[in-house]
Structure 1
Amino acid sequence: MEKPPRLLSHHLLLKNRVYEVTLNCAQLTWMKKQRVSRTLQKSCKVGSVCVPVCEILAVREADVEGRGKTGGRWQRLSRRPAEGYPYAFTVSYVERVKQHRWRCRDVTFQCADRAVRQQWIHSIRDQLSKLTGRPRHLLVYINPHGGRGRGKQIYEEKVAPLFSRASISASVIVTERANHARDHLKTDADLKKYDGVVCVGGDGMFSEVLHGLVSRTQRDAGVDQNRREQRLVPCPVRIGIIPAGSTDCVCYGTVGVNDPVTSALHIIVGDTQPLDVCSIRHADALLRYSVSLLGYGFYGDVLTDSERRRWMGPVRYDVSGELVGKDTLRDRKGLKTFLAHNYYEGTVSFLPATDVAGSPRDKTTCRAGCSRCLKDSQAYGTGNCVRGRDQGGDWRVIRGKFLAVNAASMSCACPRSPGGLSPSAHLADGTTDLILVRKCSRASFLRHLLRHTSPQDQFDLSFVEVHRVRRFCFTPRRSERQGDPVCSSWNCDGEILPHASVDVGVHCQLIRLFARGIEDIATP
């Protein structure tokens, strides 16, 4: 493949050394010049740094007296400018550090001519203006009470300065009650003014934005969400997540780390990651949407026990042991729920995804630019969902006694469980991984739970089976009255559903995030 033609190339000063700096439409490169022979006055290129243009955040002038201007404030350069190079400009760009973290780095070049400096600034800004996927105006919701109550502080100290540097304007709303963001998006927000919606908080805050945005999109398109036969319309506005909650499962599963700065930089560069959404219905009425975990039995019981201790704050998760179905294991491994060892009878019917190439046990992982998600979504169609039991495919029916019935639409990984609940689940292929854990001994169930934090195959057990499905239904054998000991509750992304009998369908790539999926290599 031919390299793009050079737009600019000059010898510039960087930290009192001369570099050859080159710009084309794809990347900015600087290479040190080193003398080989004083007699021949020849030079060679030693080392190089290449920054993709799409990962440049901004460019600005630097003062001739050795100060760089950033957001209206002056910043001293690391060294005094050498004579003959009195003009300078600073480029801010993305640098990858350890564990999938990104940081904003500055490099300041000095040049001999004012016109050369202006040429560089103009050319870089011109290339940035051609990146049409970058947001310019954002609607930001901050949950001031989520996690340890640091959402507002995280945004103001770590995120807002980066948005300002990248010339992104933000309309900020600090939520005052539960579902404030959801209700505002449904009715009041003028979404045409914004290039994206950002939530600062945990998974609960993301869920509010998800429900508000999906509901608003369907209403504007005249789609009745309660009707199974209706195809949902994909949301046109991307969602950004700034992790600031007790759990940040969705952020971890789409970026690879729960770090506010990294997430802010993904938003600034305009990354896009499609995401499947499950709709959960009961008796032809929509209950909720889900993007990560839908769990009945063990995970539902853990959440129910946790909700009784909500007054305790984040410490309640250590008492219950599980982090409401997102962190697969905490220090005490859901001790109370585990010792109760409740099992539930019911019928699971599902439509296997026989038209996809992979399986939940194929050891592949969904990564940035996943070709499998691209291929399967093109074949299946965005927003699509299997509408009826008689429309395509052969349904399977399983009856039995279950300790857990789980559906993972993503890996549900977290720092304590890097593999997650279903390590090979894909983000955007139009499927969910249905995991059935049949009644077994406490010792056997403990083996299964412990495998969530180890490299062992957690599905390689006789009482566990997993299926990649397009749609599934669950019906309890007996009464589903609330509080009935023979019936559990569903844990839907950390919220309790009011019914145990559910019909779940997967809508392929219904929403898009400001993310790119987990990159294969995170170089320090």
Structure 2
Amino acid sequence: MKSETMDEIELESEKPLLVFINPKSGTGRAVTMYNKYLEPLLKDKTIKVDVIMTKYSGHARDFIEKCPDLRKYRGLVSISGDGLIHEIYNGLFNRPDWSQISRMPMGLIPGGSGCALNSSLLRQLGQVRDGSTSLGPEASANNVAVGASLGRTTPLDLLEIELENGDTYVSFLGATIGIVADSDIGSEWLRCLGYLRVYLYVGTRMFFPKNYRVRLSYLPLPRDANGQVCPAPEDTPLALPKFSEKLPPNWVVEEGDFRLLYAINISLLDPVSLFAPESKVGDGIAWIVVVRSSITVRETINWTLNLQDGPIDVEAMEVIPVRAFRIEPLSPSTGILTLDGESVPYGKFQGQVIPKKANLFVS
């Protein structure tokens, strides 16, 4: 299947793929995913591969940062969960040739717990999220093999996110505080259950909610005459003010109590949890998912039981299309902040969407 957003790029047929496999990710099925789904297709299309089994957290990032001849590959493949994708993109981001190499195509094979980016891509392409975990390994393997063989890709936006401590990352998923971050990190010991572990934790938090006092600021995107959101312009990133500086007057500022704030780049957190229904992987739009403390227990239960349908229509919940954002936790002074599902130092953070900065293999 080919969408109108896909393009075709010429690739030298003799170039191999660089495949990263995290054998310990999620439910521990990454190696099986490669052997069963991807390897046979690559052999059938005579695509050469170099395979790296990651041995520690940060292995892929370290390898990519230091690899002197990365351009000898036609593309990269991640077989794991979202954490490995985060490593790969930030390894590229830390290279001196980032601006030239960021669009090296990436292939996605779901081998982790939730696989948000791959789930969002399959949803956008109308492909089946099949398999025992509903992560779509067959469609995913076909995207990688056909995409690498024919040079077919679709663009992917990235978020550039700055933390209060000065660290800067690129993000394909987003950054969040509140119930999702608390549940994701709080349920790490249940990773063997896959993405379902988070729902078990959320279930307990429904009746013992935690609120965060936050100053939320964002630069909204305009809409055209038909009510459609106008995407951020390409190749013209904003110079965001320092955290100590005031934001421009065209930013919207809201201070209040929240259960969840999520600056998100894609539609799904896993095969089920639809957070930004209108989002496309390369639409030039970041989305702020807001759940205010005024949400009732009944509304929370309704939302949780119908996550596949997206946010519910209540005053306490909102999904806002933005170009840039700043989120400043005021109280409590400690908490959990996750970026692409990975824990990072808690505190203020800000960022913006960088449209079409990367590419994904598609069939």
Against the structure 1 CA distance between its residues 358 and 207, is the aligned structure 2 distance closer, same or farther, given a 3 Å change threshold? farther
Question: What is the deviation of 1:347?
Answer: 0.5
Q: Name 1:346's counterpart in structure 2.
A: 214
Q: Name 2:132's counterpart in structure 1.
A: none
Against the structure 1 CA distance between its residues 162 and 134, is the aligned structure 2 distance closer, same or farther, given a 3 Å change threshold? farther
Question: What is the deviation of 1:168?
Answer: 0.8
Against the structure 1 CA distance between its residues 160 and 466, is the aligned structure 2 distance closer, same or farther, given a 3 Å change threshold? closer
Q: Name 2:126's counterpart in structure 1.
A: none
Asked whether the 8 Å contact 1:376–1:429 carries over to 2, the reply is yes
Matched, 1:250 2:113: no
For 1:434, the aligned partner's letter is: I
Question: What is the deviation of 1:393?
Answer: 7.6
Distance 2:224 2:350 in 1: 22
Q: Which has the higher strand share?
A: 1
Asked whether the 8 Å contact 2:38–2:145 carries over to 1, the reply is no
Q: Name 1:269's counterpart in structure 2.
A: 146
- Among 187, 194, 203, the alignment partner of 2:73 is 194
Distance 2:179 2:108 in 1: 28
Asked whether the 8 Å contact 1:297–1:342 carries over to 2, the reply is yes
Asked whether the 8 Å contact 2:325–2:351 carries over to 1, the reply is yes
Distance 1:391 1:356 in 2: 25
State the secondary structure of the residue aligned to 2:86. helix
Asked whether the 8 Å contact 1:134–1:269 carries over to 2, the reply is no
Asked whether the 8 Å contact 2:107–2:360 carries over to 1, the reply is yes
Question: What is the deviation of 1:239?
Answer: 0.7
TM-score by length of 2: 0.83
- Structure 1 residue runs of 5 or longer lacking an equivalent are 1-51, 55-129, 222-231, 323-329, 363-371, 517-524
Q: Name 2:259's counterpart in structure 1.
A: 403
Q: How many residues align?
A: 338
Q: Deviations over 1:284-313 (max 9, x none)?
A: 723433212422111121123123x2xx44
Matched, 1:314 2:181: no
Question: What is the deviation of 1:252?
Answer: 1.3
Q: Compute the RMSD of aligned alpha carbons.
A: 2.9
Asked whether the 8 Å contact 2:164–2:347 carries over to 1, the reply is no
Distance 2:9 2:351 in 1: 38
Q: Deviations over 1:456-485 (max 9, x none)?
A: x624201122211011101122463xxx3x
Q: Name 1:92's counterpart in structure 2.
A: none
- Among 328, 336, 343, the alignment partner of 1:489 is 336
Q: Name 1:153's counterpart in structure 2.
A: 32
Question: What is the deviation of 1:392?
Answer: 7.9
Question: What is the deviation of 1:505?
Answer: 1.4
Distance 2:9 2:218 in 1: 43
Against the structure 1 CA distance between its residues 414 and 479, is the aligned structure 2 distance closer, same or farther, given a 3 Å change threshold? closer
Q: Name 1:215's counterpart in structure 2.
A: 94
Distance 2:240 2:258 in 1: 26
Distance 2:326 2:87 in 1: 25
Q: Name 2:278's counterpart in structure 1.
A: 424
For 2:175, the aligned partner's letter is: L
Matched, 1:476 2:338: no
For 2:222, the aligned partner's letter is: T
| Amino-acid identity (%) | 26
Q: Name 2:307's counterpart in structure 1.
A: 452
For 1:416, the aligned partner's letter is: V
Q: Name 1:337's counterpart in structure 2.
A: 205
Question: What is the deviation of 1:358?
Answer: 8.0
Matched, 1:280 2:135: no
